[in-house]
Structure 1
């Protein structure tokens, strides 16, 4: 299973069709508002938010700079807060997605596949070995997010549901 790590800021799932339009961090001096596209991603509060990426929208995975993977069968981003192993975390996520109380929700329109990467990097050249291409069918999605934990695993879940 492939995971995407953050250098300290939010991750971004950007439309593959608009990826080259994301400039990443253009300046990391001064207030966050001056940090280019990365600054816009950092300004998102909570677990999820949307930012413009060219003619589309990118889904920001915020709150924690957590290592993240995507489970395509569940249409689920799993953000690792604490677990003894990858398999333990993934198993717990597959169970939790059915029972979790979702804390945040938004609508997201996609035109097809997206790429998950560290938002500080430019989309035209995402960090080698640290990004995932996610095949999504074009259309609207309901995106829900929640933090959940049990005795051994802590995670943030971001679930995508086709809205039509």
Structure 2
């Protein structure tokens, strides 16, 4: 994983240029990425997602696609938020601005995501079976429904961050 600070508080996932995706572990083998003989690959479907986030069917579940720009992304469990690094001088600077970013965010509409358990964040071009090693991030979500909302915030003159917040809903 790319680390932007020494020693680095978070593990960051990057893409080769396309969208990142969070796929439930239970359906990882069903995500083919760009490796498919179909005319429209799973990666192509991920690239067609409009806006900051969207859902795509995968097996008997759904994956969360991180649209817009292929920013380095990590997860802050204390805030239930994926953080997308658009601009900051350091990881420390970015993390220090997260509370202000969350307060100032103008959130897009919410979507509902039913999660069967932990998810894996990785480059959507890769097949799910290859989402191992250093270029992925396992996020231990509890099974159930979540409200997902996204925003971009500029909490400082040189700090821009994308936010994708998950809020657990009652079953």
| 2:86 aligned residue (67, 81, 90) | 81
What is the deviation of 1:26?
A: 2.5
Partner of residue 10, structure 1: 19
Deviates more, 1:56-65 or 1:90-99: 90-99
**Deviations for 1:48-105, whole angstroms, at most 9, x for unmatched residues?**
0000111100000010010000001111100011000011112212332133120232
Pairwise CA RMSD of aligned residues?
A: 1.6
Partners of 1:51 and 1:60 within 8 A in 2: yes
Partner of residue 166, structure 2: 160
Structure 2 length as normaliser, TM-score? Answer: 0.88
Runs (5+) with no aligned partner, structure 1? none
Structure 1 length as normaliser, TM-score? Answer: 0.92
CA distance in 2, matches of 1:69, 1:96: 15
CA distance in 2, matches of 1:104, 1:43: 18
Runs (5+) with no aligned partner, structure 2? 1-9
DSSP-derived class of the 2:130 partner: coil
- Corresponding pairs, count: 160
What is the deviation of 1:35?
A: 4.4
Distance change (3 Å), C-alpha of 1:128 and 1:35 = farther
**Aligned pair 1:40/2:49, yes or no?**
no
What is the deviation of 1:34?
A: 3.1
Partners of 2:101 and 2:161 within 8 A in 1: no
What is the deviation of 1:163?
A: 1.6
CA distance in 1, matches of 2:11, 2:111: 26
DSSP-derived class of the 1:79 partner: strand
DSSP-derived class of the 1:80 partner: strand
Partners of 2:35 and 2:126 within 8 A in 1: no
